[in-house]
Amino acid sequence: MGGGAAAVAGAGLDAGPGRAAGGVLPPRDAGRVGYLVDNGIKWRAMPADFPPWDRVYAFFRRWRDHDLVREFHDRLRGQVREKAGRDAQPTAGVIDSQSVKADAVVGVDSRGFDGGKLVNGRKRHVVVDTLGLLLGVMVTAADVGDRAAAHVLLEQVATAHHRLALVWADGGYTGSLIEHCLATFALVLAIVKRSDNVKGFVVLPKRWIVERCFAHLMRSRRLVRDFERRIASAEAMVYWSMIGLMTRRLGRPLRGRG
């Protein structure tokens, strides 16, 4: 068993709906969903040597509906953090959003127009740790404001990660949200602003971390646009993309220090 496969097996889940016997995620089923996410194919376009597409989709649907993909993702994230010499539970993060065009299958009830980015589609709101690993994701219509979504997303993330004490954000998260986070979640929301005197491209402290996460997501062809009818599927695809990233990191040998 290779390093990545060993990491998958090591993060096995307890017995329950959609889980394999012995509580270990079936590596082949995970790889088939990962193949779809990475290559951006349709469900019905699975390779001929794969099982029937509806069997693979049934696995994806069970893990989505029982929230198992997020649970498995979170266990892998803890392993990646520990391998990097960090505590499994983060204390700081970065929040941002990304608007992407939506495919024709996305209904008008879950899509909108982002006037700032001039994008007709959906928006991915994410919180990542300081390694760029996902702590939480929420997909909305593209016309939903960052502050409105952050009220919900930060509550979810703060509830799941009790040690989280600091989150960096850009100027779109100013206003009453800062006081709300401090009073409700004991969470410091630090705004990293771009100087008005600076011209051209500038790497801003901490904010580049979440931009690197977005760059990784866009390398998964299924995520270049939003092709999912259901919001829950769109969020699950983000988790599967990050699972692929983390299994590759766990499969790399540790570099010795010279």
Say what the pLDDT of residue 258 is: 45
* C-alpha span between 226 and 109 (Å, rounded): 14
Say what the pLDDT of residue 206 is: 86
- In the structure encoding, which two tokens stand for residue 140, read together? 């909305």
Say what the pLDDT of residue 200 is: 59
Check: CB of residue 71 under 8 Å from CB of residue 25. no
Q: What is the pLDDT along the chain (258 residues), one digit of tens a residue?
A: 455 555 555 555 554 444 543 344 556 788 999 999 999 999 999 999 999 999 999 999 999 999 999 999 999 999 999 999 999 999 999 999 999 999 999 999 999 999 999 999 999 999 999 999 999 999 999 999 999 999 999 999 999 999 999 999 998 999 999 999 999 999 999 998 766 566 655 556 688 899 999 999 999 999 999 999 999 999 999 999 999 999 999 988 776 544
* C-alpha span between 162 and 236 (Å, rounded): 23
Say what the pLDDT of residue 30 is: 86
Backbone φ and ψ for 162, nearest 5 degrees, come out as: -70, -20
pLDDT digits (tens, 9 = 90+) for 3-50: 555 555 555 555 444 454 334 455 678 899 999 999 999 999 999 999
For residue 127, give the amino acid letter: V
Please give the DSSP secondary-structure letter assigned to residue 200: S
Say what the pLDDT of residue 198 is: 60
